[in-house]
A and B are shown apart, each in its own frame.
Chain A
């Protein structure tokens, strides 16, 4: 199996985010691997370990895990983290023309790599913690004309028959879905507990290759990506006044009553 895991470098969840010129201001904040993507990396590694004759990922397993990402050069930091967890190699598309790309452009670029490398399975997190659109996996399935299995809470692959089954969590409950590889899958954070990179893993990751194909290598017209060609534009972005400080009371046996009175005063009951 050739597995691709799509990852994104994002501002640290705890960092205060601001807009600048219609885009998220990324310069001033710590950047990390989108934590929801770690579950996809972990799941890819577990799949390989399960189907590897040695029980381990990497060389000799007969399967590969490639990290793919679009982002600034600095995104290599996030990619290294995924490599230190145990992924084999990575591809980063980094071109100044991509700055300000929307989800449509991101999915276009990622789809070109996926087609070129002929991956059997494409794993993603459910969303990035910065943009929170949760649309890239579906867009990839559309562009690649592949089965879409999103919000997977568990995942099985039968390598011999190329059959993939997931139990996905939806508004309605748990849906069991099946498809035949190749497929695009997004995983929820309940699927596993991502490993911490070991010291050995961190050392090994330094030697792993991060290929950096250009947009023209992928046959993407630079004019068709980036903020200039984004198909939606931000007119304005305003910071809202912070929430006004509320009332805080210590329960001295009447906390429930205080609560009920508060609701009555707000005409909520």
Chain B
């Protein structure tokens, strides 16, 4: 059977949830080899034991997180060249797409980004123009490199004991330019214990209509186990960190439920959320464009509607 590479995204010893989706897709195509760059291998390996993975390839020796995508891409491209896998699957995060882009250039391979599905014949499905058009495409050159959006598939678990291949690298293995861009410090975003935006199955977002008070948005999010999102108006005002921005220049999300509170529905905001399965909008303005997308639109004051909804949901859950 052919071999498929998936890239394991991890931070602080935790494997990102969409890695399970990559494994699920990859198993349709062949035996799954999971690439793990850096990190505490023992800790990460235990989290990879029920995803049907055949092999873990660990690449260690330098701190890949300290550099831009270039160093990771060089290490991965080397493995792709050595092993010629049937495909390389990566999660569609900003960094994931950069790594994919650079591996594609380096290995003379075609690339498809932001796919939402892939079949055994490597035909990828993309949803473009804000979900209005579905495209099927295929890479016809080199190793197909495909990035997949999270929340695209139900993870199928299957216990395995993967074999381990260890690759050691040293700084001098890399082109100088790749280690020339260095992270000198990081200010970590505070998640408040809520799910990560692109991984969450429910998102409650606030806009200018919150007037800077996200408390009712957060309270609803917490009772739903949801992530908190924000419009650009809200992040520009400094009410919420940019890492929570949904839209053209923020994150693209596709949760099962998206709740837009005090958000007008500008085209740049829609670009990031309009493929959500169910959309609920709360807005004072009956003519707000967000209502064109909403499965349920409530014309009203979010400061009245959200607390009532939160209390009702709490009751129903009890």
- Taking Cβ atoms with an 8 Å cutoff, the residues of A that contact B are 13-14, 17-19, 36, 102-104, 107, 126, 129, 132-139, 141-143, 145-151, 153, 165, 169-180, 183, 188-190, 230-240, 242-243, 246-251, 253-264, 266, 268-269
Contact = CB atoms under 8 A, between A and B. Distances in A.
Contacts of A248: 286, 291, 294, 296-299
B133 A235 contact: no
Interface in B256-276: 256-257, 267-268, 271
B177 A147 contact: yes
Contacts of A126: 249
9 contacts: A145-B175, A171-B95, A171-B189, A175-B183, A189-B232, A248-B297, A251-B304, A255-B300, A257-B308
Nearest to B235: A190
Interface string B59-75: 00000000011100100
Interface residues of B, number: 97
A133 B114 contact: yes
B40 interface: no
Nearest to A188: B249
Specify the main secondary structure of chain A where it touches its partner.
mixed
Contacts of B294: 246, 248
A147 B68 contact: yes
A235 B181 contact: no
Contacts of B47: none
A256 B136 contact: no
Contacts of B315: 260
A46 B97 CA distance: 29
Given A14-B267, A253-B304, 12 more contacts: A142-B106, A151-B94, A172-B11, A172-B188, A173-B188, A178-B182, A179-B180, A232-B139, A234-B136, A255-B298, A259-B282, A268-B257
A231 B111 CA distance: 7
Given A188-B249, A256-B312, A233 B286 contact: no
Given A190-B236, A255-B298, A104 B93 contact: no
B305 A259 contact: yes
Interface string B306-318: 1111111101110
Contacts of B73: 142
Ranked 8 nearest A-B pairs via Cβ:
A256-B308, A251-B300, A231-B110, A260-B312, A135-B101, A256-B309, A231-B141, A147-B181
A83 to B, nearest CB: 24
B13 interface: no
B286 A250 contact: yes
Contact of B135 (A102, A231, A236): A236
B296 A246 contact: yes
A170 B95 contact: yes
